[in-house]
Amino acid sequence: MSVSADTNATESSRLFGLLVEFEDPNDLVSACRRVRDAGFEKWDAHTPFPIHGMDDAMGIRGTRLPLLILASGMTGLLLALLMQWWMNAVDYPLVISGKPLFGLPANIPVTFELTVLFSALATFFGMWGLNGMPRLYHPVFKSQRFRRATSDRFFIVIETTDPLFDSDRTREFVNSLGGTAVEDLKE
Protein backbone atom coordinates (compact mmCIF):
# COMPACT_ATOMS: atom_id res chain seq x y z
CA MET A 1 0.00 0.00 0.00
CA SER A 2 1.37 3.37 -0.95
CA VAL A 3 1.05 6.12 1.57
CA SER A 4 0.97 9.62 0.19
CA ALA A 5 1.40 12.44 2.67
CA ASP A 6 0.00 15.73 1.45
CA THR A 7 1.78 18.19 3.65
CA ASN A 8 0.45 21.55 2.68
CA ALA A 9 3.08 24.12 1.80
CA THR A 10 1.20 27.15 3.09
CA GLU A 11 1.16 26.85 6.87
CA SER A 12 -1.28 29.74 7.18
CA SER A 13 -3.60 28.25 9.83
CA ARG A 14 -2.95 26.03 12.80
CA LEU A 15 -2.90 22.24 12.42
CA PHE A 16 -6.06 20.59 13.78
CA GLY A 17 -4.93 17.01 13.39
CA LEU A 18 -3.83 14.20 11.10
CA LEU A 19 -6.30 12.33 8.93
CA VAL A 20 -5.64 8.74 7.80
CA GLU A 21 -7.80 7.09 5.16
CA PHE A 22 -8.61 3.36 4.91
CA GLU A 23 -10.44 1.47 2.21
CA ASP A 24 -11.22 -1.64 4.22
CA PRO A 25 -13.09 -1.61 7.54
CA ASN A 26 -10.90 -4.49 8.78
CA ASP A 27 -7.78 -2.34 8.40
CA LEU A 28 -9.50 0.47 10.25
CA VAL A 29 -10.34 -1.74 13.24
CA SER A 30 -6.73 -3.00 13.51
CA ALA A 31 -5.42 0.56 13.21
CA CYS A 32 -7.83 1.79 15.90
CA ARG A 33 -6.49 -0.84 18.30
CA ARG A 34 -2.98 0.48 17.73
CA VAL A 35 -4.03 4.10 18.31
CA ARG A 36 -5.82 3.06 21.48
CA ASP A 37 -2.83 1.08 22.73
CA ALA A 38 -0.51 3.98 21.96
CA GLY A 39 -2.47 5.90 24.59
CA PHE A 40 -4.07 8.66 22.51
CA GLU A 41 -7.23 10.25 23.85
CA LYS A 42 -8.17 13.10 21.51
CA TRP A 43 -8.81 11.04 18.43
CA ASP A 44 -11.73 9.61 16.51
CA ALA A 45 -12.68 7.16 13.79
CA HIS A 46 -15.14 8.16 11.05
CA THR A 47 -17.13 5.51 9.22
CA PRO A 48 -20.14 5.47 6.86
CA PHE A 49 -21.92 2.93 9.09
CA PRO A 50 -21.44 1.53 12.60
CA ILE A 51 -18.78 -1.17 12.81
CA HIS A 52 -18.91 -3.88 15.43
CA GLY A 53 -15.94 -4.26 17.69
CA MET A 54 -15.08 -0.58 17.35
CA ASP A 55 -16.20 0.34 20.85
CA ASP A 56 -13.58 -1.98 22.22
CA ALA A 57 -11.01 -1.21 19.55
CA MET A 58 -11.31 2.48 20.44
CA GLY A 59 -11.78 1.97 24.18
CA ILE A 60 -15.13 3.78 24.26
CA ARG A 61 -17.01 3.48 27.54
CA GLY A 62 -20.79 3.09 27.76
CA THR A 63 -22.94 6.18 27.26
CA ARG A 64 -25.02 7.85 29.97
CA LEU A 65 -27.92 8.22 27.55
CA PRO A 66 -30.08 5.40 29.04
CA LEU A 67 -29.99 7.00 32.50
CA LEU A 68 -31.11 10.31 31.03
CA ILE A 69 -33.99 8.55 29.25
CA LEU A 70 -35.05 6.74 32.42
CA ALA A 71 -35.14 10.01 34.35
CA SER A 72 -37.13 11.73 31.63
CA GLY A 73 -39.57 8.83 31.28
CA MET A 74 -40.22 8.84 35.03
CA THR A 75 -40.81 12.59 34.89
CA GLY A 76 -43.37 12.04 32.12
CA LEU A 77 -45.12 9.37 34.17
CA LEU A 78 -45.36 11.53 37.28
CA LEU A 79 -46.41 14.65 35.38
CA ALA A 80 -49.15 12.71 33.57
CA LEU A 81 -50.60 11.37 36.81
CA LEU A 82 -50.34 14.75 38.50
CA MET A 83 -51.98 16.53 35.56
CA GLN A 84 -54.94 14.15 35.37
CA TRP A 85 -55.50 14.19 39.10
CA TRP A 86 -55.27 17.97 39.41
CA MET A 87 -57.36 18.81 36.33
CA ASN A 88 -60.20 16.28 36.77
CA ALA A 89 -60.31 15.88 40.56
CA VAL A 90 -59.06 19.17 42.04
CA ASP A 91 -59.23 22.21 39.77
CA TYR A 92 -62.53 21.34 38.08
CA PRO A 93 -64.02 18.15 39.58
CA LEU A 94 -65.70 16.33 36.71
CA VAL A 95 -68.29 13.74 37.71
CA ILE A 96 -68.68 11.05 35.05
CA SER A 97 -71.32 8.37 35.68
CA GLY A 98 -70.75 8.66 39.42
CA LYS A 99 -67.27 7.19 39.08
CA PRO A 100 -64.39 8.23 41.35
CA LEU A 101 -62.84 11.57 40.40
CA PHE A 102 -59.43 9.96 40.20
CA GLY A 103 -59.15 6.24 39.47
CA LEU A 104 -55.95 4.70 38.24
CA PRO A 105 -57.29 2.33 35.52
CA ALA A 106 -58.94 5.09 33.51
CA ASN A 107 -55.83 7.24 33.77
CA ILE A 108 -53.36 4.60 32.60
CA PRO A 109 -53.53 5.21 28.82
CA VAL A 110 -52.58 8.89 29.00
CA THR A 111 -49.91 8.10 31.62
CA PHE A 112 -48.42 5.44 29.35
CA GLU A 113 -48.40 7.67 26.29
CA LEU A 114 -46.73 10.57 28.11
CA THR A 115 -44.11 8.25 29.62
CA VAL A 116 -43.23 7.06 26.12
CA LEU A 117 -43.29 10.59 24.72
CA PHE A 118 -40.96 12.00 27.39
CA SER A 119 -38.59 9.04 27.01
CA ALA A 120 -38.50 9.43 23.24
CA LEU A 121 -37.86 13.17 23.44
CA ALA A 122 -34.99 12.51 25.87
CA THR A 123 -33.57 9.86 23.52
CA PHE A 124 -33.77 12.10 20.49
CA PHE A 125 -32.45 15.32 21.98
CA GLY A 126 -30.19 13.54 24.47
CA MET A 127 -28.37 11.91 21.57
CA TRP A 128 -27.96 15.33 19.95
CA GLY A 129 -26.72 16.88 23.15
CA LEU A 130 -24.20 14.18 24.05
CA ASN A 131 -22.92 14.13 20.46
CA GLY A 132 -22.62 17.92 20.35
CA MET A 133 -25.12 18.16 17.50
CA PRO A 134 -26.05 20.25 15.61
CA ARG A 135 -22.52 21.36 14.79
CA LEU A 136 -22.48 22.55 11.22
CA TYR A 137 -18.75 23.39 11.12
CA HIS A 138 -15.90 21.04 11.85
CA PRO A 139 -12.29 21.05 10.55
CA VAL A 140 -12.77 17.62 8.90
CA PHE A 141 -15.30 19.15 6.51
CA LYS A 142 -12.49 21.11 4.86
CA SER A 143 -10.94 17.95 3.49
CA GLN A 144 -12.12 16.96 0.03
CA ARG A 145 -11.11 13.37 0.76
CA PHE A 146 -13.22 13.27 3.91
CA ARG A 147 -16.39 13.68 1.85
CA ARG A 148 -16.32 9.94 1.30
CA ALA A 149 -16.52 9.27 5.06
CA THR A 150 -20.30 9.13 4.68
CA SER A 151 -20.13 6.86 1.67
CA ASP A 152 -17.38 4.27 1.29
CA ARG A 153 -14.16 5.30 3.08
CA PHE A 154 -12.97 4.93 6.67
CA PHE A 155 -10.91 7.49 8.56
CA ILE A 156 -8.94 8.06 11.73
CA VAL A 157 -8.26 11.59 12.99
CA ILE A 158 -5.67 12.24 15.72
CA GLU A 159 -5.99 15.77 17.07
CA THR A 160 -3.06 18.04 17.90
CA THR A 161 -4.61 18.83 21.29
CA ASP A 162 -3.88 15.29 22.46
CA PRO A 163 -1.23 15.41 25.20
CA LEU A 164 0.76 12.70 23.38
CA PHE A 165 0.75 14.55 20.07
CA ASP A 166 4.21 15.27 18.72
CA SER A 167 4.37 16.56 15.18
CA ASP A 168 7.20 14.30 14.03
CA ARG A 169 6.63 11.12 16.03
CA THR A 170 2.85 11.14 15.57
CA ARG A 171 3.25 11.67 11.85
CA GLU A 172 5.56 8.69 11.72
CA PHE A 173 3.10 6.63 13.77
CA VAL A 174 0.20 7.64 11.54
CA ASN A 175 2.16 6.67 8.42
CA SER A 176 2.71 3.22 9.88
CA LEU A 177 -1.02 2.55 10.46
CA GLY A 178 -1.48 1.02 7.02
CA GLY A 179 -3.88 3.59 5.60
CA THR A 180 -4.16 4.50 1.94
CA ALA A 181 -3.58 8.23 2.49
CA VAL A 182 -2.57 10.69 5.19
CA GLU A 183 -3.61 14.34 5.20
CA ASP A 184 -3.10 17.40 7.42
CA LEU A 185 -6.28 18.96 8.72
CA LYS A 186 -6.29 22.71 9.28
CA GLU A 187 -8.21 24.39 12.07
Chain residues 120-159 in contact with another protein, contact rule CB under 8 A = 120-121, 123-124, 126-128, 130-131, 133-138, 140-141, 146-152, 155
Between the alpha carbon of residue 32 and those of residues 60, 86, 94, the distances in Å are 11, 55, 63
The answer to whether 36 touches 179, Cβ cutoff 8 Å, is no
Nearest-approach distance from CB 49 to another protein, in angstroms: 4
- Residue 1 · residue 177 · CB < 8 Å: no
Cα 182–chain centre separation:
24
Q: Which is nearer to another protein, 51 or 168 (CB)?
A: 51
Size of the site for another protein (CB under 8 A): 71
Query: DSSP characters for 55-85?
Result: HHHHTPPPPSHHHHHHHHHHHHHHHHHHHHH
Print the binding letters for residues 56-75 with another protein: x by CB under 8 A, - otherwise.
Answer: xxx-x-xx-xx--x------
Nearer to another protein, 88 or 170 (CB): 88
Q: Which is nearer to another protein, 39 or 103 (CB)?
A: 103
Q: Which helix (H) or strand (E) holds 133?
A: none
Nearer to another protein, 39 or 93 (CB): 93
Candidates 46, 142, 171, 186; binder of another protein (CB under 8 A) is: 46
